[in-house]
Amino acid sequence: MKALILVGGFGTRLRPLTLSVPKPLVDFANKPMILHQIEALEAIGVTEVVLAINYQPEVMLNFLKDFEAKLGIKITCSQETEPLGTAGPLALARDKLVDGSGEPFFVLNSDVISEYPLKEMIEFHKSHGGEASIMVTKVDEPSKYGVVVMEESSGQVERFVEKPKLFVGNKINAGIYLLNPSVLDRIELRPTSIEKEVFPKIATEKKLFAMVLPGFWMDIGQPRDYITGLRLYLDSLRKKASSKLASGAHIVGNVLVDESAKIGEGCLIGPDVAIGPGCVVESGVRLSRCTVMRGVRIKKHACISSSIIGWHSTVGQWARVENMTILGEDVHVCDEIYSNGGVVLPHKEIKSSILKPEIVM
């Protein structure tokens, strides 16, 4: 079985982290975002993953070579020379996806994090006998999204309503699809949208079905949602594999700590924190709702909340970092500095406080 992951473009919403690596390689819960998806696909028997990409394919492939061997899965790239939207990449990768077996293939949006109930999706797809299955998720504010209007009992999709002013339903496209190869015959090789052009046509023929996603869902393509996504992911991990979470007198709530990280005396860590490989957290540090990436050093009595600390950065003694501060790679925050929502580009030294949210070039 095969799968296509829509990797797409530059990841501008997650800058400054994406100035160092392509967005799918940004760490989430101590491993690159895209690896969560590739592992879930491999677990249900997908043997080849195609990455639809228009930016830095070499970096992606070099990085994923290690995982190819480890997971025993083939990873290839389909490179766009111009952005092709969400359907064009499928036409471009057609030869990689079609192998004559007639088997359906998965399509995933690379920003989406969930429990990936892919096995259930295969069973759902077989049971309805349609041409395409999409995963939908329930949201509190459907007016911000494209809503999928469906027949509740069978899951048959009736229509799509973009950002409805009046309530038509609360289920939105979750960015996970299972498609028969015949869907590719409907897509031209040009910039085109699968949500706006391809799916509505299949729906009018009554061949499109939607499955409601159990468990959590988040599009983690921007910092605030990334932090929320971490909370939901760690919550889910608590239910499924709580032995992976840290425990102890200094831990509050759900905390993920890489085994190679070192944590000093008298710290208070949590809730909703991920600490990556090789990190050093000195004594008396307070961390909550934050991600601390590989090789970071946090000095004594620093306090970090609702922030992302990029690779190999340093936060000085008694520093306070909060309110969606994002430090790019190799940023050094001096002792006793306060950052209120600073977004700091890589390789900077911060010697004076950032009192209101701003970008530090």
Q: Dihedrals φ, ψ of 201, to 5°?
A: -65, -45
Torsion angle in degrees (nearest 10) through CA of 292, 298, 302, 304? -10
- Among residues 77, 84, 106, 126, the alpha carbon closest in space to that of 1 is found at 106
Sorted by sequence, the CB contacts under 8 Å of residue 25 that are 6+ apart come out as 32, 33, 34, 59, 60, 63
Higher pLDDT, 282 or 172: 282
The reported pLDDT for the residue numbered 22 is 80
Q: Hey, what amino acid is at 103?
A: E
Confidence of residue 69 (pLDDT cuts 50, 70, 90): confident
The answer to whether 33 and 24 are in contact (CB under 8 A) is: yes
To the nearest whole percent, how much of the chain has pLDDT over 90? Answer: 54
- pLDDT tens digits along 172-228: 888 899 999 999 989 888 888 888 889 989 999 999 999 999 889 988 888 889 999
Tell the residue number behind the tokens 């729906």, with chain if given.
203
d(CA 285, CA 302): 5
Confidence of residue 11 (pLDDT cuts 50, 70, 90): low
Q: What is this structure's pTM?
A: 0.88
Hey, what are 175's tokens? 């960015």
What is the rounded average pLDDT for all residues in the chain? 90
CA Rg value for the chain = 21
The helix/strand/coil state of 46 is coil
Pairing of strands 105-109, 171-179: antiparallel
To the nearest whole percent, how much of the chain has pLDDT over 70? Answer: 98
Confidence of residue 10 (pLDDT cuts 50, 70, 90): low
Torsion angle in degrees (nearest 10) through CA of 229, 232, 234, 239? -160
- pLDDT tens digits along 252-270: 999 999 999 999 999 999 8
